[in-house]
Amino acid sequence: MTDPSLYNVLYIDLTEGRYEVQERKDLFEKYLGGTGVAIKLLEEECPKGVDPLSPENPIIFAVGPLTGLYPLASKTVAMFKSPLTGNLGESHAGGRSAAAIRFAGYGAIVIKGASKTPVYISIYNDQVRIKDATALWGMRSSYAVGRVLREVEPGAGKRTIMRIGIAGENLVRYANVIVESYRHFGRLGLGAVFGSKRLKAVVVAGTRSVKVDDAKAYAKVYEEIYKEVVGTEVMSKYHVLGTAENVLPLNAIGALPTRNLMQTRFELAESISGELLAEKYLVRKIACTHCPIGCIHLASLRIAFAPGHEYETLIVPYDYEPIYALGSMLGIGSADGLLRLIEKVDGLGLDAISTGVAMAWATEAYQRGLITDKETMGLRPNWGEDVDVYIKMAERIARRANEFYSALADGVEVAASKYGGLDFALACGGNEVPGYHTGPAALVGFLTGMRHSHLDSAGYSIDQRALRALMTDEEMVRQLVEEERFRNVLTSLVVCLFARGIYKLERVAKALEPLGTKVSPEELLRLGAEIVRTKAAFKAREGYDPYRLRIAKRFLETPTPLGRLTEERIRNMIKMYVEKAGLSDVYAPSSRG
């Protein structure tokens, strides 16, 4: 049988200052862990229609049966009601978070209520403490918060420190939670939910081990997986250049959103490419716990202090997404400038994608005269010309410096609804868009995916296959549905999606067997479908309606490598998606016309 510590759910109530552990074998046996268990806990704990920034909105962290046992089972799922979209909030992060939660003896943690004063939660095995964080509240950089907590909390080397920056304190609706300095629960505003609870950080460490049922069989499957990870192209793909290697190929096919998607090719792409960053700035690659790949690329950047004060060296993590959102989207073609901006946005605790997309909209809105120096407080954004303008803009968003920045802090859609320019406000389902203008599958995936993320159903990769061999819209939608179901199995385990080529369903079934869980690939796929359905029901319950989505004109005006898209085609594909995913009853069109 599965090691029973996985069934332990730690419930913490910040209003009451209490905690308890409940055994939830019922949930883990049926839904494995991760996203499957988290959505059921969210259903249980989140009252319908609740304000996402009220104490009633729970924060759920969940790991899975493979955590701590197999390579790349390194991620934690966070679930909550999103303050950005008003429906499902789901975000994944690695670092040490997953192993720390499992070795502390839990499968999931549920945080409810809100504290009156700033606090952080410290979990060390079965010791759970809610501690004063007044001294940490308002600290300028989330990096500094991590440094302080490292000094005072036990468990060095196997401890996770998840914390928010000032953006989370100020309830920026896309504030993130930073994990071990270089990883994030980035999307959909978990940081704001932390902030609303006056929760500055969660620190977890543990010393327990996890038992397996059949050690011999486990070792055999482990070896098989490990060899495949280190011996195949998955290793080189993510280790050598990391996801930053996507910059040039996407630029070459005309799919790299540039200057708020007015263009899809960036003339300075070379100078912010993975290749250039690796050659001139890369100093280290690190990994989440129990991952032999190590895709986390760290750049070193020397910054001059004021005259007479020499230099400081910043260590900046980079990936494709921040390069797109804070680079090409803003017309920033200097690697130095881009890295400085990434470091600032990270330190403030802002999600890089949402921040970049919001600032790109603001730049265009400024140039069109929809906003003026009055709104920007004297800043004059002009496509990459002056990176310091964007650094200051990010600071003002994080501090909600005036009414305009406060609207931007509520998301690009809110800002554009207020100041105009919805046609070029690039959000799908309320979430700022990731960096793939590849074709219809990507756009439909962003609009229908449970997280409105490229990671839901990977439409960008379907589009790229369609570039090589013609594909019907129906086939694209079929692949989106299948991929989303499959990914929900992996995120229930919780396996890093970069290992999706290795953890095929047959392999997953094989990996679970020595741990005491017998399940067939077909059953796993059915489970993936059920989890997607449960999430869809939560989204519908909270007001999400795929038939009424806003589709920004800019997505349709700017050609993709597969040609120009039409609204009719996209809406038709959304309809197909709902039918093929078996969600027609969940998203009933009824009176919508």
- Residues binding ligand SF4 (CB under 6 A): 72, 74, 94, 238, 287-288, 291, 293-296, 496, 498
Q: In whole angstroms, what separates CA 558 from the centre of its chain?
A: 26
Of 379, 405, 371, the closest CA to residue 171 belongs to 405
CB of residue 292 to ligand SF4, shortest distance in Å: 8
CB of residue 355 to ligand SF4, shortest distance in Å: 21
Which structure tokens are listed for 202?
Answer: 């969660």
Nearer to ligand SF4, 316 or 397 (CB): 316
Q: DSSP string spanning 31-69?
A: H-SHHHHHHHHHHHHS-TT--TTSTTS-EEEE--TTTTT
CB of residue 239 to ligand SF4, shortest distance in Å: 8
Nearer to ligand SF4, 75 or 539 (CB): 75
Rg of the chain on CA atoms, in Å: 22
CB of residue 233 to ligand SF4, shortest distance in Å: 13
Which structure tokens are listed for 3?
Answer: 């090691």
Nearer to ligand SF4, 98 or 447 (CB): 98
CB of residue 94 to ligand SF4, shortest distance in Å: 4
Q: What is the dihedral of CA 461, 467, 473, 474, to 10 degrees?
A: -70
Nearer to ligand SF4, 81 or 183 (CB): 183
Nearer to ligand SF4, 203 or 496 (CB): 496
**Are 3 and 68 in contact, with CB atoms under 8 Å apart?**
no
Nearer to ligand SF4, 119 or 296 (CB): 296
Nearer to ligand SF4, 99 or 556 (CB): 99
Exposure string of 389-427, with b = 16+ CB inside 10 Å and e = fewer, is: bbbbbbbbbbbbbeebbbbbbbbbbbbbebbebbebbbb
Q: What SS3 state is found at 488?
A: helix
Of 132, 116, 109, 79, the closest CA to residue 198 belongs to 116
Distance CA 143, CA 521 (A): 42
CB of residue 285 to ligand SF4, shortest distance in Å: 9
Strand partners, 59: 111
Nearer to ligand SF4, 212 or 287 (CB): 287
Nearer to ligand SF4, 138 or 292 (CB): 292
CB of residue 226 to ligand SF4, shortest distance in Å: 13
Distance CA 59, CA 368 (A): 40
Q: What SS3 state is found at 522?
A: helix
Nearer to ligand SF4, 237 or 265 (CB): 237
Q: Which residue has the tokens 């090409």?
A: 328
Residues in the chain: 593
CB of residue 157 to ligand SF4, shortest distance in Å: 17
Nearer to ligand SF4, 74 or 170 (CB): 74
CB of residue 294 to ligand SF4, shortest distance in Å: 5
CB of residue 436 to ligand SF4, shortest distance in Å: 18
Asked, as a colleague might, if the bond just before 494 is cis with ω within 30 of 0, I would say: yes
Q: DSSP string spanning 360-399?
A: HHHHHHHHTTSS-HHHHTT----TTS-HHHHHHHHHHHHH
Q: DSSP string spanning 179-248?
A: ETTTEEE-TT-HHHHHHHTTEEEEEEE-------S-HHHHHHHHHHHHHHHHHSHHHHIIIIIGGGGGHH
Where do runs of H (alpha helix) occur along 281-369? 320-326, 335-348, 352-367
CB of residue 242 to ligand SF4, shortest distance in Å: 8
Q: Are strands 8-13 and 108-112 parallel, antiparallel or unpaired?
A: parallel
CB of residue 353 to ligand SF4, shortest distance in Å: 16
Nearer to ligand SF4, 217 or 287 (CB): 287
Nearer to ligand SF4, 183 or 200 (CB): 183
**Are 92 and 76 in contact, with CB atoms under 8 Å apart?**
yes
Which structure tokens are listed for 531?
Answer: 């989890």
Q: DSSP string spanning 100-135?
A: HHHHTT-SEEEEES--SS-EEEEEETTEEEEEE-TT
CB of residue 534 to ligand SF4, shortest distance in Å: 25
